[in-house]
Structure 1
Amino acid sequence: MTAAQADRAELQIDRPSVADGAALWRIARDSKTLDLNSSYSYLLWCRDFAGTTAVARDAHGSPVGFVTGYIRPDRPRTLLVWQVAVDEAYRGRGLAAALLDGLVARSTGEHRITALETTISPGNSASQRLFTSFAERHGADVEREVLFDTGLFPDGPHDPEVLYRIGPLSL
């Protein structure tokens, strides 16, 4: 067992509750890379999409990382991962990968998903590595295409969002 695996073994990964919404908002805010949604949206997410969201908790039960997602209504075998964030003190331990693997395994069992999608801005190399290494671990292909070009964002300059389609999944 590596030191990173031992560190992760002390953490618990489970579904969020509404009470976790504020902590998820703070982790997202402090990431300095994610588009921050309103605190209200994280509360709703923890209520309405708890089944497709995973939270990592420290020994005290406090959230230290999360991955949010949902099943695409028009593609019920596709899990779209919305955001992944890990508290700065817990980065570099493979926690984001463990959260992603755990959520996909759970979603595959509950929803029989066969594909994963996410969007990543071109400058977010950490997310690019996370999702391409996920695909490699699971022997899946990765397709990329621009989903939302810069001009579609009404609130000022925004990098384009590149859609990553990963599949077929065989977990």
Structure 2
Amino acid sequence: MKPVDTRAIPTTAPDAVLFRSPQIDDGVRLWEIARDSKVLDLNSSYAYLLWCRDFSATSIVAEVDGRVVGFISGYSRPSEAQTLFVWQVAVDEEQRGKAIAARMLDTLMDRTAPLGLTCLETTISPDNTASIALFTALARGRGVPISKQTLFAPNDFPDGHEAEDLFLVGA
């Protein structure tokens, strides 16, 4: 019998991930994950604490073995009551490649639908192919359209931030 290469076996089975609403005491961990990503715009630790308190119904965390390993921060757009705006999606480096981001996003959409949130918006910089693929796959998997338009140009930002395109899923 040929030995099994355990390096090829994911260490986290799909059913070992708990998806839940964030709580205030998760705020520090969300800040750490965002900081360690080295690609997300890092907000203050205070902002993540407030996010966990005020937007827990429209956000989600992924937990493995009692430790938060990923999160999505989102909110309901005040001027578009049916729209969930996804602000940040992040997964710990050691948990990447296990479809946790996609599963969080799908779970969040299912969980917010009873709140009347049937469309999703997010902004993505043009060079972020991983995020573009994530949201395109979400739209394809749900059988809904996805569209893109320019939202913020580089000159809209005071700090050299690159452009951000607005992606609409289900609109």
TM-score by length of 2: 0.92
Instruction: Tell me the amino acid that sits aligned with residue 84 of structure 1.
Output: V
Q: How many angstroms apart in 2 are the aligned matches of 1:16 and 1:54?
A: 6
Say if 2:47 is the partner of 1:44: no
Structure 2 counterpart of 1:15, from 21, 29, 35: 21
Task: Show structure 2 runs of 5+ residues with no match.
Answer: 1-8
Cα deviation code 1:114-156 (max 9, x no counterpart): 210000001111101100000000011111011111001112x
Instruction: Percent identity, please.
Output: 49
Aligned partner of 1:130 in structure 2 is: 134
Aligned partner of 2:68 in structure 1 is: 63
Aligned partner of 2:98 in structure 1 is: 93
Aligned partner of 2:120 in structure 1 is: 116
Q: How many angstroms apart in 1 are the aligned matches of 2:35 and 2:129?
A: 18
Q: How many angstroms apart in 2 are the aligned matches of 1:136 and 1:34?
A: 25
The verdict on how the C-alpha distance between 1:6 and 1:87 changes in structure 2, with shifts beyond 3 A counting, is: closer
The verdict on how the C-alpha distance between 1:4 and 1:135 changes in structure 2, with shifts beyond 3 A counting, is: farther
3-state SS of 1:73 partner: coil
Alpha-carbon distance, 1:18 to partner: 0.5
Q: How many angstroms apart in 1 are the aligned matches of 2:11 and 2:148?
A: 31
Greater C-alpha Rg: 2
Aligned partner of 1:163 in structure 2 is: 166
3-state SS of 1:75 partner: coil
**What CA RMSD, in Å, does the superposition of the two structures yield over aligned residues?**
1.4
Task: Show structure 1 runs of 5+ residues with no match.
Answer: none
TM-score by length of 1: 0.92
Aligned partners of 1:120 and 1:164 also within 8 Å: yes
The verdict on how the C-alpha distance between 1:5 and 1:89 changes in structure 2, with shifts beyond 3 A counting, is: closer
